[in-house]
């Protein structure tokens, strides 16, 4: 397997499970030296998996929405690897699916702190370090919920819409530096964040209905997002900048419609 990130260093938040863990494992297999962070202790299990696979990694328990913690991640990469080439702001929380009148200001602040301020902090601190290399990539996890309503709670959706605009704004702010900033917008992916929904469907015997709203008729896996992150981190995406790349099985390709039977047309 070709090593698409050989000699490069990367930081990844939310690497304790799901998309973050899958991406950390994939980046390491392609030669990247990593600093990974997560609020959960499971980040150390991810690090163990990487080391057992022959990779190089430092793991930190941290809060992606705290500036001091993000700065420590950047400093760890600088101290261990001499700098940063890639930064992936992946950490996020869902906040569930309450109505707009049911969420408190504290709920909104907590969700925005991690989901939107977290990526800002990665761009602020890691971006300055990547600029020293005159080339590199910053990736942020947004969501299809940031594109339009119907895929998440109000605060979550607003936070992810903010991430999409943030990467567009940051790409312009970093104009001429050689640093690219892009977002990935996952659809329904089987991760810790969606675990309860998957477990409920399995208990009810309706697992086959998960993901039926998209044209592929299935949910996605963390590895499918990780491969898009690998593309954005690598030199293969050297002319991709300021974009929000949707990975959702085609869910967002259409507005909701009444499904027509094969061979019949809408009136």
Domains, the chain, in order of start with CATH, read: 9-189+221-246 (3.40.50.720)
- Residues annotated as catalytic are 156
DSSP string, 162-179: HHHHHHHHHHHHTTTTTE
pTM of the model: 0.91
DSSP string, 49-91: HHHHTT-EEEEEE--TT-HHHHHHHHHHHHHHHSS-SEEEE--
Q: In the 8-state DSSP scheme, what is residue 246?
A: E
Instruction: Give the torsion sign (CA, 196, 202, 205, 209).
Output: positive
Of 109, 143, 104, the C-alpha closest to 14 is 143
Angle at 255 between CA 254 and CA 260, to 5 degrees: 80
Per-residue pLDDT in tens (0 to 9) along the chain, 267 residues:
668 999 999 999 999 999 999 999 999 999 999 999 999 999 999 999 999 999 999 999 999 999 999 999 999 999 999 999 999 999 999 988 888 999 999 999 999 999 999 999 999 999 999 999 999 999 999 999 999 988 889 999 999 999 999 999 999 999 999 999 999 999 989 876 655 655 555 555 555 656 577 888 888 999 999 999 999 999 999 999 999 999 999 999 987 655 555 555 544
The whole-number pLDDT of residue 208 equals: 63
Whole-number Å distance between alpha carbons of 80 and 72: 12
Strand order in the sheet with 56-61: 56-61, 33-38, 9-13, 86-89, 136-141, 179-186, 244-247
């Amino acid at each position: 397997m070709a090593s698409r990130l050989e000699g490069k260093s990367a930081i990844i938040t939310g690497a304790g499970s799901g998309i973050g863990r899958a991406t950390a494992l994939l980046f390491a297999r392609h030669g990247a030296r990593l600093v990974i962070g997560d609020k959960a202790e499971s980040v150390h299990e991810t690090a163990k998996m990487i080391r057992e696979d022959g990779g190089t990694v430092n793991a930190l328990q941290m809060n992606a929405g705290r500036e001091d913690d993000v700065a420590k991640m950047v400093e760890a990469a600088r101290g261990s690897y001499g700098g940063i080439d890639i930064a992936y702001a992946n950490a996020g929380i869902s906040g569930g699916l309450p109505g707009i009148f049911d969420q408190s200001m504290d709920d909104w602040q907590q969700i925005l702190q991690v989901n939107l301020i977290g990526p800002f902090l990665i761009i602020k601190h890691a971006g300055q370090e990547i600029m020293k290399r005159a080339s590199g990539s910053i990736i942020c996890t947004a969501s299809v919920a940031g594109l339009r309503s119907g895929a998440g709670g109000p605060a979550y959706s607003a936070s992810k819409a903010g991430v999409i605009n943030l990467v567009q704004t940051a790409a312009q702010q970093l104009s001429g530096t050689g640093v690219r900033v892009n977002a990935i917008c996952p659809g329904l992916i089987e991760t810790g964040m969606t675990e309860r929904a998957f477990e409920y469907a399995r208990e009810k015997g309706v697992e086959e209905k998960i993901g039926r709203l998209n044209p592929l008729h299935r949910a996605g896996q963390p590895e499918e997002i990780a491969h898009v992150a690998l593309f954005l981190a690598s030199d293969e995406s050297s002319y991709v900048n300021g974009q929000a790349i949707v990975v959702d099985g085609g869910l967002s390709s259409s507005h909701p419609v009444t499904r027509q039977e094969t061979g019949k047309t809408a009136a």
